[in-house]
Amino acid sequence: MLSKSYTFLFIGRSGCGKGTQAELLKKYLEENDKRQILYVYAGSRMRNLIEKENNLTSQKAKEIMLAGAKQPDFLAIWAWSNEFVEKIKEDMHLIIDGSPRTIIEAIVLDEAFEFYKREIIKPILLDVSRKWAKDKLLKRARFDDTEERIDSRLYYFEKYVQPAIDYYETKSRNKLIKVNGEPTVEEVHKEIMEKLHLL
């Protein structure tokens, strides 16, 4: 059993395997620790908003999604902060898949972790090239993965996500763990576990 509860953030380009690696880590924690795990994926809540709700917010968010553009920070923060407010408990592990995507989100997340007195924060970057990510996304063929939208999402990685990565490397007390995301799923998982000192 781990000595304390952990918070893991999975960051990276679209298609880098964040969800797969987050699930593998979740499975490891389930098998090796008795604490509860809160798995937060803001993208899922955003998709539910767009597909199932019928209000001005969902209409505007859908327009942005169809244009392949970036959703505003306030909606991304709403998506994961709602999960925190509704579900977080003392001494549980927290896995956040795909957030933060901007420096604003990173700063607000740090504030939330201080509020909840989360002590061990591990931002994990799955580092892949733009070409590698594009090839992966084209093969995945999800309904919103047209080539134009993929190019748009990969473009805003450099514009928006990279400053969040820089923040973890230079300003945040929660220092970035960089992992090569291009080898096999098993090799990437092994490197993550080694760098987290969980093996």
The confidence score (pLDDT) of residue 144 equals: 66
Quote the CA–CA distance of 171 and 132 in Å, as a whole number.
29
In a domain, 56, yes or no: yes
What is the number of structural domains in the chain?
Answer: 1
Domain-located, residue 1: no
- Report the CATH number that the domain containing residue 100 is assigned in CATH: 3.40.50.300
pTM as predicted: 0.92
Q: Mean pLDDT over residues 116-136, rounded?
A: 95
Helix H or strand E encompassing 18: helix 18-32
Position 82 scores a pLDDT of 94
Domain assignment of residue 123, given as a range = 6-195
Q: Quick check: 61 and 23 in contact, CB under 8 A?
A: no
Residue 123 lies in a domain: yes
The answer, yes or no, to whether residue 161 has pLDDT greater than 80, is yes
In a domain, 37, yes or no: yes
Q: Give the three-state DSSP class for 10.
A: strand
Condensed to tens digits (0 to 9), the pLDDT of residues 41-76 reads 998 999 999 998 899 999 999 999 887 788 999 999
Residue 106 falls inside a structural domain: yes
Domain presence at residue 72: yes
**Cα distance between residue 23 and residue 126, in whole Å:** 14
